[in-house]
Amino acid sequence: MTAYTQEVGKAGKPVDRARSLWKHTTVRRHVHTVLSETLAKMAPGIERCMYCGDNQGTDIDHFEPLSRAPLRTFDWNNHLLACSLCNSHQKREVFPVDAGGCPLLIDPSSEDPAQHLHLVLAAGEYLPLTPKGEATCEVFGLNRGVLVRGRRKVYRITRLCIEEWLRAHEKGDDEGVLEWTSTVWEQPTADVVYAMFHQAMAPGAEDVFADDPGVLRLLTDERVRAGLLN
């Protein structure tokens, strides 16, 4: 990877050289494959996009685009697994920065999105908490209809899954525990599950889950948290 970066740096037109190298057959075979496999293990759910969390992560996205930072083309810290919709249709070469030149997009591999975005669980929509959250929502269309509907369904389904997990746990059914654990965490838009566990312990949790106190009891159960969060 270092050799490729050096080659880009020596080129008269580094952006063009970076694009050319990234698309080269050898790089696709030996670099893309390893990167994709590694990033897939880091992604939410089953190899889901690290931006929307809904679609399969099929692309290697350069968090800071090649057009802006060609020397980061082969920088491991600049790679994320993304779906083609988020990568090629939503983000493209868009990379907003603040007045100091710092990125205004959340990097899900190094930042906690909950610091910038609040998920309204019952509505399935994100509310920006910071300028970074606002820019991320806008660039990736995080509140587009299909994502909102999907989050609502996951919110309803997750309660049922946790109830089944608890039944298996109480019966000492280890296989059932593993099965329901994977069901909870490997579903699309698993960001909903993270938000549920996080908000259950936050101030005002009773109001958040006022429509269904049973969900709050499940999410604060010590057995559930020890088993599913570990």
DSSP states of 36-84: HHHHHHHSSTTTB-TTTSSSB--EEEESS-TTT-GGGTT-GGGEEEE-H
**Is the confidence at residue 1, as pLDDT, over 80?**
no
* Tens-place pLDDT, residues 28-83: 998 999 999 999 988 888 899 999 999 999 999 999 999 999 999 999 999 999 99
Domain identity same for 57 and 38: yes
> Last residue of some domain: 64, 80, 95?
95
| Inter-axis angle of helices 2-10 and 14-23, nearest 10 | 140
Domain identity same for 103 and 68: no
Domain identity same for 28 and 2: yes
**Is the confidence at residue 204, as pLDDT, over 90?**
yes
What integer pLDDT is reported at residue 82 of this predicted model?
Answer: 96
Domain identity same for 45 and 124: no
**Is the confidence at residue 4, as pLDDT, over 90?**
no
**Is the confidence at residue 229, as pLDDT, over 90?**
yes
* Tens-place pLDDT, residues 175-192: 999 999 999 999 899 899
**Is the confidence at residue 217, as pLDDT, over 90?**
yes
What integer pLDDT is reported at residue 43 of this predicted model?
Answer: 83
* Tens-place pLDDT, residues 86-135: 999 999 999 999 999 999 999 998 999 999 999 999 999 999 999 999 99
> Last residue of some domain: 75, 95, 115?
95
Instruction: Name the pLDDT band for 141 (thresholds 50, 70, 90).
Output: very high
What's the rounded Cα separation, in Å, for the pair 166 and 141? 35
What's the rounded Cα separation, in Å, for the pair 137 and 103? 14
The C-alpha R_g of the chain, in whole angstroms, comes to: 20
- What rounded mean pLDDT belongs to the chain? 94
Total structural domains in the chain?
Answer: 2
Run of H or E including 225: helix 222-228
Closest CA to 140 of 81, 188, 85, 97: 85
Domain identity same for 115 and 13: no
Domain identity same for 82 and 114: no
- Rounded mean pLDDT of 207-221? 94
Segments forming the whole domain that contains residue 180: 96-230
What integer pLDDT is reported at residue 42 of this predicted model?
Answer: 86
> Last residue of some domain: 56, 72, 95?
95
